[in-house]
Structure 1
Amino acid sequence: MMQYFAFLITLLAFLGASQPVRERADDSWSVKSFSSYVGPHSISQMTAFSLLESPEATETITCSNATGAAISATPYLVPVVDGDCAPGSGFNFSFRQLQDYAVELSVKHAESGRVATWTSGTESVTTTTTGDDPFDTLTSYVGPREFALAF
């Protein structure tokens, strides 16, 4: 019986030690060059960024989405439910504006099912008027362009 428990403990220790290697690499996804905006006289919103899978990554994964936009006098960016990342990367993303003009970005790896998220501070979305017409407005994300995602 004692040998059985010793074997079981050894097996569990081995399995526990082997799994985190992949997870540790994944636990450091980061975003560079993040932007989301609706230009003046536009009915399209563009959201784009570069994703790094680890600090050692030398290549970025491009993620972007163009979607219909809302034209409003208040800062409002439309939610992105299923944004695309580079074909074959296995990543996709979602983006939404929260209360007090904060935003949330979630990135998902399809194969592993892991999701990492980042939430900005408040007042991260603004509207700038560029003329007298109601359509003369630029609505854009103005928070940090580089940040780490958290699991």
Structure 2
Amino acid sequence: MQFFILQIALLAVLAASRPLCGRTNDKWLVNHFSSGVAPHSISQITSFNLVRPAANQTIPCSNVTGAALSSTPFLVPVPDGKCLEGSGFRFSFRQIEDYAVKLTVRDAEGATATYTSGPGAVTTSSTGSGPHDTTTAYVGPTEFELVKEASA
């Protein structure tokens, strides 16, 4: 009888620990990342796919916001970007010092993961002499792994 109780207790512990193992192997990857403003446009489009291989999921995320007119490379912050409705994911995006960017993705349970590019990831190019003849775009890697933040 004691052996049977010990087996049940062991199975309960193993069952409870399995989701934790799944979480540690649940990488969040990004592909097809882009953010930019086209010439003559007043909109900035930021979009990417969030890929979770362990869950066999690819979740599209995107945001359209007003663009900033500037002679220096500048992408407008996205404080509350949306991912596929019902997925439970949201994102924020902002340009940081040295023309680098930071992407943060959160799930409904509060798990957070980030990517910070290297310097020079945002550029501006001109297609003419007018103030609206410029394009500002992210030119860094389009595929990368997000780094998960430690849970509290």
Residue 78 (structure 1) shift: 0.4
Paired with 1:48 and 1:115, the residues of 2 have a C-alpha distance of 18
Could you list the per-position Cα deviations for residues 95-138 of structure 1 after superposition, in whole angstroms to 9, with x for gaps in the alignment?
A: 0000000000000001x210000000000000000001011000
- Quick one: which of 95, 98, 101 aligns to 2:99? 101
User: Does the CA-based 8 Å contact 1:25-1:53 persist in structure 2?
Assistant: no
Paired with 1:15 and 1:34, the residues of 2 have a C-alpha distance of 37
Q: 1:114 corresponds to which residue?
A: 111
Could you list the per-position Cα deviations for residues 65-107 of structure 1 after superposition, in whole angstroms to 9, with x for gaps in the alignment?
A: 0001101000000000000000111101000000000000000
Q: 1:84 corresponds to which residue?
A: 82
Paired with 1:41 and 1:114, the residues of 2 have a C-alpha distance of 38
Paired with 1:52 and 1:115, the residues of 2 have a C-alpha distance of 14
Residue 145 (structure 1) shift: 0.2
Q: 1:50 corresponds to which residue?
A: 49
Runs of 4+ in 1 over 6 A off after TM superposition: none
- Quick one: which of 139, 145, 150 aligns to 2:136? 139
Could you list the per-position Cα deviations for residues 36-77 of structure 1 after superposition, in whole angstroms to 9, with x for gaps in the alignment?
A: 0011111110000001112562x4100000001101000000
The answer as to 2:25 corresponding to 1:21 is: no
Paired with 1:19 and 1:60, the residues of 2 have a C-alpha distance of 20
Amino acid at match of 2:52: E
Structure 1 unaligned residues grouped into runs of 5+ = 1-9
Paired with 1:91 and 1:72, the residues of 2 have a C-alpha distance of 31
Paired with 1:122 and 1:49, the residues of 2 have a C-alpha distance of 20
Paired with 1:16 and 1:150, the residues of 2 have a C-alpha distance of 25
User: Does the CA-based 8 Å contact 1:43-1:68 persist in structure 2?
Assistant: yes
The answer as to 2:115 corresponding to 1:123 is: no
Look up the SS of the partner of 1:77 in the other structure.
coil
Amino acid at match of 1:68: G
Look up the SS of the partner of 1:60 in the other structure.
strand
Look up the SS of the partner of 1:31 in the other structure.
strand
With normalisation by structure 2, the TM-score equals: 0.84
Look up the SS of the partner of 1:63 in the other structure.
strand
Paired with 1:86 and 1:18, the residues of 2 have a C-alpha distance of 27
How many residues get paired?
Answer: 141
Residue 16 (structure 1) shift: 7.9
Amino acid at match of 1:130: T
